[in-house]
C-alpha cells in the first residue's frame, strides 16, 4: 500500500517509569533527543496524515514544538497511566473520519533506530484495509506495525499496556535486525556501542 493512503501514528505519551526521574524521550542519543530520531524519519516520508500522541504540552513543551514544526497533528494524552492502549484509542478516534486513510502505521517514539526503509517495507506489505503487518526480530512481534481500517473497532476496544500485541502476532511479520527495533526504556539502554 502506498504511504499516501496511511496515517503515521507516533506514540510518545509514556510515563518513562523505568527510566527514573528524567524523560527518556528527551535523553540524548547520537546527538539528538531519543524521540527526535523517530519523528524526523517518519516526517521525511509522505503519509496521508502525521499524528502524534504525546503528554500535555506543559509536560513536554520541547517535544510539542518539534512535532508542530514537522507537521504533526498532536493529540494530548493526559492519562498515560492507562497504558499504550489509551494512546492507540485516541489516534484511531482521530483517524477514523479520514476516509483517505486505509490504515495506520503505529510507530514508537522510544525506538530511535528504525530506518525509513523498514517503515516502507511494512507499508508495502500491507495489501488492503484488512491487513496487519508487524515487525519482528525473529522472536516476537512489535511495532512499527500497520493495522488496516477494518481492525479499527478492535483497536478502540483495547485496554491496558498490552497494546495490539495479540492482533500483531497474527499478522504478516517483517523481519529486521533486532538492533533496529531496540527501544529505550532504562538509562542503561543508552549505553553500549551505539550510545557511546
Q: What pLDDT digit, counting tens, does each position of 78-127 carry?
A: 887 777 899 999 999 999 999 999 999 999 999 999 999 999 999 999 99
pLDDT band at 177 (very low <50, low <70, confident <90, very high): confident
Residues 6+ apart with CB under 8 A from 188: none
Per-residue pLDDT reduced to its tens digit, 28-51 = 888 999 999 999 999 999 999 999
Specify whether domain 3-190 bears CATH 3.90.550.10. Answer: yes
> Hunting for cell 516476537 — which residue is that?
140
pLDDT band at 1 (very low <50, low <70, confident <90, very high): very high
pLDDT band at 185 (very low <50, low <70, confident <90, very high): confident
Question: Domain coordinates of the chain in residue numbers?
Answer: 3-190
- Inform me whether the pLDDT recorded for 15 exceeds 70: no
pTM of the model: 0.92
Using an 8 Å Cβ cutoff, are 34 and 112 in contact?
Answer: yes
Give, rounded to a whole angstrom, the gap between the first and last alpha carbons of the chain.
37
Using an 8 Å Cβ cutoff, are 151 and 136 in contact?
Answer: no
pLDDT band at 21 (very low <50, low <70, confident <90, very high): low
Distance between CA atoms of residues 193 and 196, nearest Å: 6
What angle is formed at CA 113 by the lines to CA 112 and CA 118, rounded to 5 degrees?
Answer: 120
pLDDT of residue 51: 98
**How many angstroms separate the Cα of 54 from the Cα of each of 16, 18, 171, 179?**
12, 18, 27, 25
CA atoms within 13 A on the CB side of 3: 19
Q: Which of 18-22, 140-144, 188-192 has the highest mean pLDDT?
A: 140-144
What average pLDDT does the segment 154-173 reach?
87
Q: In terms of C-beta density within 10 A (0-12 exposed, 13-18 middle, 19 or more buried), how is residue 92 classed?
A: buried
What average pLDDT does the structure give for the chain? Answer: 90
pLDDT of residue 195: 42
Amino acid at each position: 500500500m502506498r504511504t499516501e493512503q496511511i496515517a503515521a501514528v507516533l506514540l510518545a505519551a509514556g510515563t518513562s517509569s523505568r527510566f527514573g526521574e528524567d524523560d527518556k524521550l528527551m535523553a540524548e542519543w547520537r546527538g539528538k533527543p531519543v524521540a527526535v530520531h523517530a519523528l524526523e524519519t517518519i516526517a521525511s516520508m509522505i503519509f496521508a496524515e502525521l499524528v502524534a500522541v504525546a503528554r500535555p504540552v506543559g509536560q513536554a513543551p520541547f517535544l510539542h514544538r518539534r512535532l508542530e514544526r514537522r507537521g504533526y497533528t498532536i493529540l494530548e494524552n493526559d492519562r498515560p497511566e492507562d497504558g499504550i492502549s489509551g494512546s492507540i484509542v485516541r489516534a484511531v478516534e482521530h483517524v477514523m473520519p479520514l476516509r483517505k486513510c486505509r490504515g495506520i502505521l503505529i510507530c514508537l517514539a522510544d525506538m530511535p533506530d528504525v530506518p525509513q526503509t523498514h517503515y516502507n517495507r511494512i507499508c508495502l506489505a500491507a495489501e488492503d484495509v484488512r491487513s496487519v503487518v508487524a515487525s519482528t526480530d525473529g522472536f516476537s512481534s512489535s511495532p512499527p506495525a500497520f493495522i488496516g481500517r477494518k481492525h479499527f473497532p478492535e483497536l478502540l476496544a483495547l485496554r491496558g499496556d498490552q497494546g495490539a500485541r495479540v492482533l500483531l502476532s497474527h499478522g504478516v511479520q517483517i523481519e529486521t535486525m533486532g538492533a533496529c527495533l531496540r527501544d529505550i526504556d532504562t538509562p542503561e539502554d543508552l549505553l553500549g556501542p551505539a550510545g557511546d
